[in-house]
């Protein structure tokens, strides 16, 4: 496994639409594990393949609970319910945060790393993370949907 470079604000690849994964092979599985390691190193909750420069419809999410990392290949939101106003940041926009409206609940269908169909019904933070990461697959960034006047830059803490 390896930590990959996270593409940041201004990188043109972040605006591109990701392509479906045709075959889940060892290379794809390795990419997924690298994405999880990269996300953990950056203390993120979610990461899409495009954020590490790969235009594939792959997302990883980890709420750091007993369930562990979620791996989604070719994910599609099939249902949304309600709204929630949330504060959001993005690993591709370090130290920037803003308020955004996201669905309160989502249902997502995808493949797991073994090519098996999975369906997840998510609420709260998980629904937010899924919505955020699936936007990345369409080339949509969280700053595109921020409530005007709520974007702020927070100085990083010294290590």
pLDDT tens by residue, 76-103? 999 999 999 999 999 999 999 999 999 9
Rounded to 5 degrees, φ, ψ at 40 are: -65, -45
pLDDT of residue 159: 54
Concatenated DSSP letters for 24-66?
--HHHHHHHHHHHHHHHHTT-SEEEGGGGT--BSEEEE--SST
Annotation says 116 is catalytic? no
Tokens of 40: 């953990």
Domains and CATH numbers, the chain: 12-152 (3.90.45.10)
Tokens of 38: 């990269």
Tens of pLDDT along 40-73? 999 999 999 999 999 999 999 999 999 999 999 9
- Whole-prediction pTM: 0.95
Q: Which of 22, 30, 133, 157 is catalytic?
A: 133
Whether 15 shows a pLDDT value over 60: the answer reads yes
* pLDDT score of 132: 98
Distance in angstroms (rounded) separating the CA atoms of residues 80 and 88: 19
State what percent of residues in the chain have pLDDT above 70: 99
């Amino acid at each position: 496994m390896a930590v990959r470079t996270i593409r940041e604000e201004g990188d043109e690849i972040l605006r591109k639409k990701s392509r479906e994964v045709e075959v889940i092979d060892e290379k794809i599985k390795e990419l997924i594990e690298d994405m999880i390691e990269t996300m953990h190193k950056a203390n993120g909750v979610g990461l899409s393949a495009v954020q590490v420069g790969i235009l594939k419809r792959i997302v990883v999410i980890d709420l750091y609970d007993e369930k562990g990392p979620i791996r989604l290949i070719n994910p599609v939101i099939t249902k949304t319910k309600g709204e929630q106003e949330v504060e959001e940041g993005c690993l591709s926009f370090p130290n920037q945060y803003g308020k955004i409206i996201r669905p309160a609940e989502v249902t997502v269908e995808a493949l797991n790393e073994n090519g098996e169909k999975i369906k997840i019904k998510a609420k709260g933070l998980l629904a937010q993370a899924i919505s955020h990461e699936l936007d990345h697959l369409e080339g949509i960034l969280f700053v595109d949907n921020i409530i005007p006047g709520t974007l702020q830059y927070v100085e990083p803490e010294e290590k």
